[in-house]
């Protein structure tokens, strides 16, 4: 028996199984293999698109990535079984002639077993190989089925993500526009209702992002509905309302705490499951010229540099915006 082939096959098997379990059954993000494939494939699409968020090419990245991950799982499981079978010449024999199977016949046997179609024209030569065959047969039944059913909640999360992006875009075209729309309604009644419902939706999106990080790569090339741009706009708007608006609405600021907490939670989730390198982006001043013209700001208030918490949120959101092919000007203008 060739113990090197046996060891490599066994290591590959346990590596793939751990990746499938981490990806499909936990809420800690994708497995080690899935995460690397996801970011590598996204970078390929990103470069080919010219790093342009408006490119229609990026809209195909999500489903291509899902299919690629599943194919890698299937190929890796097959490869692990083939390597293990190759560790012994007569591990598998012809059911009629009793002659040992060659490499092509072992590949055929591996595919038959993992697809749970049976044994084909070949059989295990000993009890040990019968046990190995049973193990891989159950693996094919359980884990390949699990990987296919993984698609359903992912696609559901993608639909909710797109829906949230559209709902957030209805608040306004820019941070200043969001603030102006909020101020135009007495006592924030309409705005408060939106914040209460949308904060819950954003928390759900954050948890989906944590459980299925692959949804990040389902790109929306429509700038008006791209969710990362809408979250960044709302983050700016809430900061303006809390720090710069007239005193007669300050009593309602606490009602924005739910949404602010939801944004903070989203930031923490992105940092936890993301692999993009954070970029420092310090905004010297927040754009508020239109608000000042309409007399919505506190009198004699200087436009000062955002606090450290706000700067951290801006840095994370700026990184995600650049990683999605957009610019910060798409947020503030």
Same domain, 102 and 207: no
CA nearest to 214, candidates 264, 140, 169, 275: 275
Other residues' Cβ atoms within 10 Å of the Cβ of residue 282: 10
Same domain, 286 and 328: yes
Same domain, 294 and 208: yes
Same domain, 108 and 212: no
For residue 58, the enclosing domain spans 3-149
Domain boundary among 149, 179, 202: 149
Domain boundary among 130, 149, 168: 149
Domain boundary among 114, 129, 149: 149
**What integer pLDDT is reported at residue 18 of this predicted model?**
93
Same domain, 163 and 133: no
Same domain, 198 and 240: yes
**What integer pLDDT is reported at residue 118 of this predicted model?**
67
**What integer pLDDT is reported at residue 249 of this predicted model?**
56
Q: How many domains does the chain have?
A: 2
Rounded Cα gap, residues 106 and 156, in angstroms: 39
Q: Is the dihedral of CA 223, 185, 204, 265 positive or negative?
A: positive
Same domain, 85 and 176: no
* Cα→Cα distances 225→181, 219, 287, Å: 18, 10, 21
**What integer pLDDT is reported at residue 234 of this predicted model?**
94
Alpha helices by DSSP H, the chain? 3-25, 32-48, 61-86, 103-114, 127-139, 145-149, 151-169, 175-183, 189-211, 227-244, 257-273, 289-293, 308-323, 329-332
Tokens of 84: 């293990």
**What integer pLDDT is reported at residue 30 of this predicted model?**
80
Length of the chain measured in residues? 333
Tokens of 43: 């970078």
Same domain, 285 and 163: yes
Same domain, 238 and 274: yes
Contacts of 326 (CB under 8 A, 6+ apart): 53, 223, 226, 228, 229
CA nearest to 236, candidates 175, 281, 194: 175
**What integer pLDDT is reported at residue 277 of this predicted model?**
64
CA nearest to 51, candidates 221, 292, 242: 221
* Cα→Cα distances 119→18, 61, 127, 132, 206, Å: 26, 37, 15, 13, 45
Q: Any idea of the CA torsion for 301, 281, 168, 208, to the nearest 10 degrees?
A: -140
Concatenating the DSSP letter of every residue in 140-193 gives: IIIIIHHHHHTHHHHHHHHHHHHHHHHHHHTT-SSHHHHHHHHHTSGGGHHHHH
Tokens of 332: 């503030």
Taking each helix axis from N to C end, the angle separating 151-169 and 61-86, rounded to the nearest 10 degrees, works out to: 160
**What integer pLDDT is reported at residue 116 of this predicted model?**
74
**What integer pLDDT is reported at residue 205 of this predicted model?**
95
Same domain, 253 and 162: yes
Same domain, 133 and 73: yes
**What integer pLDDT is reported at residue 26 of this predicted model?**
83
Rounded Cα gap, residues 328 and 317, in angstroms: 9
Tokens of 254: 């606490």
Mean pLDDT in runs of 10 for the chain (333 residues)?
Answer: 90 94 84 90 95 94 93 93 93 87 90 78 88 91 82 92 94 91 71 85 94 92 94 92 72 74 92 71 72 80 78 90 92 84
CA nearest to 322, candidates 287, 284, 277, 267: 277
Same domain, 57 and 114: yes
Rounded Cα gap, residues 35 and 182, in angstroms: 40
């Amino acid at each position: 028996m060739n113990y090197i082939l046996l060891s490599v096959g066994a290591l590959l098997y346990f590596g793939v199984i751990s990746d499938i379990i981490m990806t499909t059954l936990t809420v800690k993000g994708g497995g080690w293999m899935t995460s690397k494939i996801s970011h590598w494939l996204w970078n390929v699409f990103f470069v080919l698109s010219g790093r342009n968020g408006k490119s229609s090419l990026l809209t195909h990245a999500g489903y291509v990535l899902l299919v690629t991950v599943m194919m890698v799982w299937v190929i890796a499981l097959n490869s692990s079984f083939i390597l293990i079978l190759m560790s012994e010449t007569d591990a598998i024999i012809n059911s009629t002639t009793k002659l040992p199977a060659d490499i092509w016949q072992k590949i055929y046997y591996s595919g038959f077993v993992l697809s749970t179609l049976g044994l084909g024209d070949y059989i295990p030569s000993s009890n040990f190989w019968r046990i190995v065959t049973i193990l891989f047969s159950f693996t094919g039944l359980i884990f390949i089925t699990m990987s296919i059913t993984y698609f359903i909640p992912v696609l559901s999360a993608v639909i909710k993500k797109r829906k949230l992006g559209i709902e957030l875009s209805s608040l306004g075209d820019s941070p200043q526009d969001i603030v102006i729309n909020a101020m135009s309604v007495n006592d924030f009644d309409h705005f408060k209702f939106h914040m209460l419902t949308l904060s819950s939706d954003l928390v759900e999106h954050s948890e989906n992002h944590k459980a299925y990080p692959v949804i990040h790569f389902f790109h929306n090339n429509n700038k008006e509905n791209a969710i990362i741009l809408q979250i960044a706009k709302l983050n700016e708007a809430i900061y303006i309302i809390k720090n710069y608006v007239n005193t007669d609405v300050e009593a309602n600021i606490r009602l924005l705490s739910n949404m602010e907490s939801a944004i903070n939670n989203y930031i923490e989730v992105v940092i936890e499951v993301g692999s993009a390198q954070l970029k420092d982006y310090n905004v010297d001043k927040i754009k508020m010229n239109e608000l000042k013209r309409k007399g919505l700001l506190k009198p004699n208030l200087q436009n000062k540099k955002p606090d450290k918490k706000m700067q951290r949120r801006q840095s994370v959101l700026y990184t995600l915006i650049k990683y999605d092919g957009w610019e910060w000007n798409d947020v503030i203008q």
